[in-house]
Amino acid sequence: MKNILFINTGGTISSSYQENGLTPTQNAENILEQIPELTNICHIDAFDLMSMDSTNTQPEDWASIAKLVHRSIQRYDGIVIAHGTDTMAYTASALSFMLGSVGKPVILTGSQVSILAEHTDSKKNVIDSFLAACGERPGVFVVFNGKIINGCRASKVRTRSYNAFESINYPYIGTVEDGKVIYNKDLLQPHPIHYSYNDNYCAEVFLLRLIPGTNPHIFDAIRSLGYKGIVIEGFGMGGVPFKERSLINKIEELMREGISIAVTTQCPYEGGDLTIYEVGQKVLEKGVIPGYDMTTEALVTKMMWALGQTLDPAEVAKIMATNYADEFGLPEML
C-alpha cells in the first residue's frame, strides 16, 4: 500500500457556516474522517499547513506549499493538497514551475460544497485525488469532477457547478472512473525537459485586461507602483490599439526601463498569435513576450517565477519562451 501525504490549506472543502458566511474550520484529520473509504486505498499522513479561503492566498503561500512538498516528496509516493477552488489554478500553475521535475504525483483538489454538507462533491474529488496520487504519472495536477488536469492548464470556469475546472487548450491527462485511473494514452510520457526546484518569485506582476478606451497613462500608474512585469490581455489574437489612445508608445517606454511585458488574448480557448494582425505585429515589434495559448494563471505565475530568478528582461524572455511543463504550444502546433 502506497504512502501519501495529505496537506490541508483550507477552502470550501473544509468550511462550515459561521457568522460571516462559509469559513474554513475543519482540519486535515476532520476531512479524512469523513471519508473512511480512503483507508482501502493507501496509508495517509495528514498535515495542516494553513486554513484559509483561497481568495486570501498570496504568492508567499505558494512558496510555503512548494517548500513543504519539496521537503516531503522523497518520503512519500505522492501528495494530495486540499485547496480552495477560487485560486487553485494559480497555485497549481505556480507549483508546476516552483517544484521543477518533481518525479511523483502532486495533486490539488477541493470542492464546490463543504465536506460537511449532505450533497457534496468533496468526497469524490478527494478519493479520486488519492487514486491519482497513487498513480504512475508524475507532475502537478488538478483533480476535479473525475478529470485529471495538467496543473498549468487548469482554469476555474464555473462558480457553482461540480465541473468547475477545465483543461484549457490541452487534453485531459486522464479520468477517474469507477475507482480506476485511466490515463490519456497519448500523454503517458511527461514533458522531457528537466528543471530544478526553485521557489523564488517576484510578486510585482500586474495583470491588465484591455477594454475599448483604456487610458495609456494607466502604464504610468503601474510603473509608479513598482511593478517589474505586466501581463496584458489584448483583444482577439492579442491585439493592442495603436490609433486613438494608442498603448504602443507607453509599452515601449516601460520596456526601455526594464519592465518585462507579455501580451496574450482575453479569449480562454485557442490561444493568441501576435503575427497575424497589424494590431498584434506592432506590439510584437516592440519586443513583448507572446503569451501563445497559456492560461492567464500560468502566464502570470510563470512571469512571477521568472522575475524571481532574474530582472534582466532578455533572460526573463528566455525563461518565458521555455516550455517547462507543457504550459504552452506554439501557434503552428495549435
- Which residues are known catalytic residues? 12
| Nearest residue to 76 via CA among 42, 27, 50 | 42
Q: At what angle do helices 313-320 and 296-309 cross, to 10 degrees?
A: 140
Rounded CA-CA distance 213/92 in Å is: 34
Residue type, 274: L
- C-alpha torsion sign, points 188, 192, 197, 199: negative
SS (H, E, C) 19-58: CCEEEECCCHHHHHHCCHHHHHCCEEEEEEEEEECHHHCC
3-class secondary-structure state, position 13? helix
Question: What is the sign of the dihedral through the CA atoms of 131, 134, 136 and 139?
Answer: positive
DSSP string, 123-189: HHHHHHHHHHHTSS--EEEEEETTEEEETTTEEE--SSSS--EEE-SS--SEEEETTEEEE-GGG-S
136, β-bridge pairs? none
Question: Which cell goes with 42?
Answer: 493507501
Burial 12-48 (b: 16+ CB within 10 A, else e): bbbbeeeeeeeebebbbebbbebbeebeebbebebbb
Query: Alpha-carbon distance 164 to 122, whole Å?
Result: 12
Which residues, 6 or more positions from 21, have their beta carbon under 8 angstroms from its beta carbon?
none
